[in-house]
Amino acid sequence: MSIAFLLLSTTTVAAQSDVGDVYCGTGVETGIGIVFGAVAGLGLPATGFYVGRAGLSYMRAGGNPERKNQAKEKLVMSGIGFAIIVLALISPELIDKVGSQMGFGFSNCVKPF
């Protein structure tokens, strides 16, 4: 029984094409490019702005520990936002690399960059 399941599952995987081929030439392909372009084009400069603003707040805090802690918190939050943006930008490539090792790949239509 398990041999039949193994044969059935491997033959269907071998017969499949790249994941996302159905989206080639559609609005989904365009939407993926727009969303990832907006994340990179708006998110990264905004993160730089907030990191700079938190740094200035820290420098202006002087000896006030409460203001220093607030500035540190803002800086940590800016760093977390930057990490989320970077992860969102590189995750499709990471998923594609892992998927190609497992026997499936993503179509070039659904890869953002």
Could you tell me which residue, 101 or 73, shows the higher pLDDT? 73
Lowest mean pLDDT among 8-22, 44-58, 67-81: 8-22
The pLDDT of residue 13 is 47
For the chain, domain boundaries: 28-113
pLDDT, averaged across the chain: 80
Radius of gyration of the chain (CA): 22
Measuring CA to CA, how many Å separate 26 from each of 74, 96, 105? 41, 21, 19
Distance between CA atoms of 110 and 7, rounded to whole angstroms? 29
Q: What does DSSP assign to residue 41?
A: I
Asked if 67 and 61 count as a contact pair (C-beta separation under 8 A), the reply is yes
Q: Is 106 a residue whose pLDDT tops 60?
A: yes
Say what the pLDDT of residue 17 is.
58
Contacts for 40 with CB less than 8 Å, ≥ 6 apart: 85, 89
Confidence class for position 74, pLDDT limits 50, 70, 90: very high
pLDDT at site 1: 52
